[in-house]
Every structure is written in structure tokens, then in C-alpha cells.
Amino acid sequence: AQTVTQSQPEMSVQEAETVTLSCTYDTSESDYYLFWYKQPPSRQMILVIRQEAYKQQNATENRFSVNFQKAAKSFSLKISDSQLGDAAMYFCAYRRGDTGNQFYFGTGTSLTVIP
């Protein structure tokens, strides 16, 4: 099974500053997708951003962007201009591109935003 590692259990950031959450993964596949999900205190899982392994360009969604380093198997999430509403647990996830029936999740990083 693929493994996804998030080595930062907790992170904090000042409001309006930038923070980067780390994620590494282990796979022998070349065709896969990577995702970042946000889980606020409401528990709802919300997709933040996704990246296709075949695309070299890093995905961007408004204030959220990724640094995808395929050779290093690294997929970090950068949050710019952090807002109080960004406070949540963030999960990195991996899925095979072809018959990927399963998402493999990391253990999560709890982000605190300091006013």
C-alpha cells in the first residue's frame, strides 16, 4: 500500500502571513493524483487543491498553491495571506490515476491561525 507522510502534527501562522505544510509519499506508480483536504472543526472534509502527477506545473487555487516535486515525492501546500478561517486539520492524500479505488491519507497537520 502507498504511504503518505505528514511530519508536522501541528503548525501555527500569524494572520496574513504565509505557511507551508509538508507532505511526502511513497509509490512506484507514475500515474497518480495528489490532493489536499481541509477539515475544519465542523468535521466536513473539503477539497483544497489537487495535482496530477503528469503535470509539471504546480496547481494553484486562489491563496493556496502546491510545490510538487515528483522526483523527491514531495507535495507541500502553501497558504498565502492566512485567514482565521484557514484554521483546520489538513490532510494530504494520494490516489492512483487509473484504477485508484482508494485514497491514502496522511496523518494530518493541525493549523492554528493567530490573530
Q: Which residues bind other proteins (CB under 8 A)?
A: 1, 4, 6, 9, 33, 35, 42-45, 47, 50, 52, 91, 93, 95, 97-98, 101-103, 105-108
Q: How far apart are CA 47 and CA 57, in angstroms?
A: 19
Smaller CB separation from other proteins, 49 or 79? 49
Rounded Cα–Cα distance for residues 50 and 18 (Å): 19
Q: How far is the CB of 49 from other proteins (least distance, A)?
A: 10
In this structure, the chain runs to a length of 115
DSSP classification of residue 97: S
CB of 27 to other proteins, least distance (A): 15
Q: Which residues touch 99 (CB under 8 Å, ≥6 apart)? A: none
Nearer to other proteins, 28 or 42 (CB): 42
Min dist CB 33 to other proteins, Å, is 5
